[in-house]
Structure 1
C-alpha cells in the first residue's frame, strides 16, 4: 500500500496543498485557494499586513477538499510558507491562540483572533533605511532588511511596545501553523526561517542573543531552532481525516521548497516570478562567515543537507506588472469604461509578443526598492512619440523587470557555476510569453518548464525519507 505525505505552502496570496506519493514522488491530489487576507496597515502605505484567521480558514478549506481516502493514508505533514514575515500570539496555561473544533469524527483548527496579531509580511516597509541604521550589526553573513521578522520586532519595541507585551510567542506564518496543528505551547523554527528573520548565525545555528539583548530586544519572543527536516511535533487531533499523531516537520521556507521540487540536475538554475521574483541555484561548497554582513544583491540562504542556495531576490516581480494592469483598469474606469483585469492581461501580452514592439523605451520598475538598495525608485526614460504604444510599454516593462533581476545575478555568475539551463516556475512567468522571451534574451540559456516548481510539493518532498 502506498503512503502519502501532505505538503502545504502558505504563500503571500494563496494557500496550496498537495498529497504526494512517497514511492513515486507524484502528486496524487492538490487544491489551491486565494487567501484575500490583506488588511489596512497601521503605518499607512509603508506597512503590509495580512489577516491570520483568513489564512488559516483557507488552509482548512484546502485540506478539506482533498480526497478523504488519501488523507487517511497521510504519514507525515510538511509545511512551508512566505519567509521573513512575523506573526505574534499568546499561549498560556489557561488558553492557547487557537481552538480545536470537533466535527463528526474529525477536527478543524480556528484562530482566537484576540490572542493573535496580524501577519506583518516580507513586503512591510515600516523599517526605513534611517531606522535600520540604528540597529546593531548582526553576527551573521546575512544582512537585516525591512520586512525581516527581527527588524519588525525592533520597530514594534520602539513604536508599539504595548502591543508586543500582549504576546509571548512569534514566528513565521508557517511556524504558527505548525504550532497550531501540533498544539505546541512554544513554537519551533527551522534554520531556513530563522535565517530569513536576521540576527541568526548560520555557522553556529544560533540567534545573536547577546547582541539583541544588549539592544533591548525582547529575546523571549525568539523560537527554539531546529535543523530543516526535523519533526516539530505530532498532529493533536484527526484533522479532516488525517490520523491524530501524524508527525509534522518544522516550518520551511517557500523558496527552498520550490527549488527542491524544481531542480533536476546540479546545473539547473530556478527562476520564479510570482508576487516577487527570484533566480537561484544550489551551492554545494559554500561556507558562511559570522559577519559582519555585506550589503549585496546576492544572498546565500540555508537549503537542505547542509547546502546553501544562492539567491537574487527582487521585491519587484509580478506585483510590478499587476500594478501596471491595475492602473490601466483604473484609467479605463475614469474614462467611463469597465474592463476586467483578465482582459487587460490578455491584451497587453498579445500586443507585446511581436518583435516589432521592441523599442528603446526603458522602464525601471523598482517601485518597491530592493533590499540591498531600499532608496531605489522606479523610472521611465527614452520616451518619444514612436514608442508609446501599449505593446511597446508593456514589452519595456517586462524587459526592465528582468534587467533588474539580471543586474542582481548576471549571466556570468550562472556561467561560473556551470549552470546550463533555467527552469521556470511561478504563474507570473508561466503565463507571460513576453517575460519568457526576455529571460532567454538576457541570460542566453534555455528556459524550460518541468513538472516541479511547486513549494507545496517541495514541502512534502522534504519529509520523504
Structure 2
C-alpha cells in the first residue's frame, strides 16, 4: 500500500484547455496530472468582434480531469490552488441551495446553463477604440483594454442592460469555480485577477467604485471580497472525488502569474510563455504605481508578496502559427489532399529549422492587433522569388512572433533590469525548435526550456508556499 503523504491539487482553466496536477507538499514533485481540451468556443452574435466560451463545458472539463486522478491520491489532498485565463468575465445568478443530505455523495462541479452567462474572454474585441476612449478615466496605473472585465461590463451596461439584469454575481471563470467549490455567496477575487479587469487600485486593493458608479456601471455585481494572492477563499463544501470536505481552497489566481511562479528560479530570470498568446515577464522589485507608469507596451501586474511583474503581453502567439497551419491544411483539402495537422506541424518545424530557411522575408503576424495598437493588422514584406519556400515562410512567421515581443520588450529593457537568462514555456513553444532559435537570435541570452512550468503547477505551489 502506498505511503500516505500530503498533496496539493492545482487547476488551470486555460483559453483552450484545462490542466490539473497533483504535487507533493514536501518534494514539490508532480505525482499525477491530467488535461482536456475544453472545446468551449461558441459563436458570437457580434461575429469576429465577440469572443465567448460555454462555461458549463469548461466546468465539465475540470470535472473530467479531476475524475481521472486516483481516489487514493485525492484523499490525501490538503490544499487546492486554482488559476485561469485573465481579463475575461462571466456572470451568474447565485441563489441559496436547499439543504440536501445526499449532495455530498453526488456533488459535481456544475451550474445550470440558464443561471450563467458565457465567458466573455480576453480575446473579445467588442470594445473598439472609440468605445474605450469614451469610458471614464481611471486612476489606475493599468489601462483598460477590450476583453478586460470592466470594459466588457461597461459595454453591456450601455448596449444590452437586459443581459446584466439576469445575474447578481460576476468574476473570472476561475472565481466562479472557487465559489462553487466553497459554496460562497460573496465572490472573492485576488488582486491579480482584479487588476486584470481595469478600474482597480492595486496599492489600495480596491475597485474605483466612485468613478464606476458615476458612469452607470453595475457596481453591485462586482466581486466584493478582495484577497491577496495565496489567501484561502474558503473550504471545500462537499467531498469531491475523495478530496475531503473542509479542504482549504485558495483564492483564484492569474494564469500568467502562476506560470511565472512555477518557472522562476532566480531574480535574474525572465519567463517567456507562448501558448495561445505570448508573454514575456520578469519580477520588477523597484516598481511603484505612484512613481512609475512603465511604457505603453509593458504593463505591471500584481505578483506575489507585494511585488509586480513587468509584462509584455502579446495577443499574437501560438494562435497565429495555428492559423497558418489550419490555412495550409485547408488549401491542401481544396487541392484534393487530406493532411493531418500533426503532419503539417512536423514538416514545417523540420523545414524551418534548416539554415536555408533564414531569409530576408519579414512577416508581422499581428492578426489580432495588439492592446496598445488594436487596429494594427498583419503584413508581409521583402517578398522576392527567393523567399517563397515553405520553410522560409514558416521561419519568417516564427521570427515575426518573437520580433513582435522584442518590439514590446526589447533586449535593452531586460539588460537594464539585470536579466541574464530566459526560461521558456508553453505548448506553443516547447515543441517548436524554430521559435526557440528565434528567441536566441533576437534576445541573445541563454535560453532554458522550463520544466513543470504549467500554470496548474504554479497554482498548487502557490497555495503550498503561502499556507
TM-score bracket, normalised by the shorter chain, equals: over 0.9
CA deviations 1:257-291 (Å, max 9, x no partner) are 01001011111110000000000011222111299
Give the distance between the partners of 1:101 and 1:411, measured in 2 at CA: 59
Normalising to structure 2: TM-score of the pair?
0.96
Relative distance call for 1:90 and 1:290 in structure 2 (3 A) is farther
Relative distance call for 1:146 and 1:290 in structure 2 (3 A) is farther
In the TM superposition, what is the alpha-carbon distance from 1:187 to its structure 2 partner? Answer: 1.0
Give the distance between the partners of 2:201 and 2:291, measured in 1 at CA: 6
Q: Which piece of structure 1 moves more, 334-343 or 321-330?
A: 334-343
Give the distance between the partners of 2:452 and 2:63, measured in 1 at CA: 24
* Partner in structure 2 of residue 136 of structure 1: 136
In the TM superposition, what is the alpha-carbon distance from 1:67 to its structure 2 partner? Answer: 1.3
The answer as to whether partners of 1:16 and 1:30 remain within 8 angstroms in 2 is yes
In the TM superposition, what is the alpha-carbon distance from 1:168 to its structure 2 partner? Answer: 0.5
In the TM superposition, what is the alpha-carbon distance from 1:155 to its structure 2 partner? Answer: 0.6
The answer as to whether partners of 1:100 and 1:109 remain within 8 angstroms in 2 is no
In the TM superposition, what is the alpha-carbon distance from 1:69 to its structure 2 partner? Answer: 1.0
Give the distance between the partners of 1:361 and 1:27, measured in 2 at CA: 43
CA deviations 1:306-348 (Å, max 9, x no partner) are 0111100000000000001111111111111111111111111
Relative distance call for 1:153 and 1:335 in structure 2 (3 A) is same
In the TM superposition, what is the alpha-carbon distance from 1:100 to its structure 2 partner? Answer: 11
In the TM superposition, what is the alpha-carbon distance from 1:204 to its structure 2 partner? Answer: 0.9
The answer as to whether partners of 1:108 and 1:240 remain within 8 angstroms in 2 is no
Give the distance between the partners of 1:58 and 1:108, measured in 2 at CA: 12
Is the aligned partner of 1:408 residue 2:408?
yes
The answer as to whether partners of 2:11 and 2:81 remain within 8 angstroms in 1 is yes
* Partner in structure 2 of residue 269 of structure 1: 270
Report the 3-state secondary structure (helix = DSSP H, G, I; strand = E; otherwise coil) of the residue aligned with 2:463.
coil
Is the aligned partner of 1:170 residue 2:173?
no
* Partner in structure 1 of residue 81 of structure 2: 78
Give the distance between the partners of 1:142 and 1:18, measured in 2 at CA: 32
In the TM superposition, what is the alpha-carbon distance from 1:450 to its structure 2 partner? Answer: 3.0
The answer as to whether partners of 2:359 and 2:392 remain within 8 angstroms in 1 is yes
Is the aligned partner of 1:252 residue 2:250?
no
Q: List, as ranges, runs of 4+ consecutive aligned residues in structure 1 with deviation greater than 4 Å.
A: 99-103
CA deviations 1:18-69 (Å, max 9, x no partner) are 1111111111111111101000012111111100000000100101111111
Is the aligned partner of 1:54 residue 2:63?
no
* Partner in structure 1 of residue 346 of structure 2: 346
Give the distance between the partners of 1:57 and 1:109, measured in 2 at CA: 7
Relative distance call for 1:101 and 1:112 in structure 2 (3 A) is farther
Report the 3-state secondary structure (helix = DSSP H, G, I; strand = E; otherwise coil) of the residue aligned with 1:28.
strand
The answer as to whether partners of 2:294 and 2:300 remain within 8 angstroms in 1 is no
The answer as to whether partners of 1:100 and 1:110 remain within 8 angstroms in 2 is no
Give the distance between the partners of 1:163 and 1:329, measured in 2 at CA: 39
Unaligned runs of 5+ in 1: none
Pairs aligned (count): 461
Normalising to structure 1: TM-score of the pair?
0.96
Question: 1:34 aligned to 27, 37, 52, which one?
Answer: 37
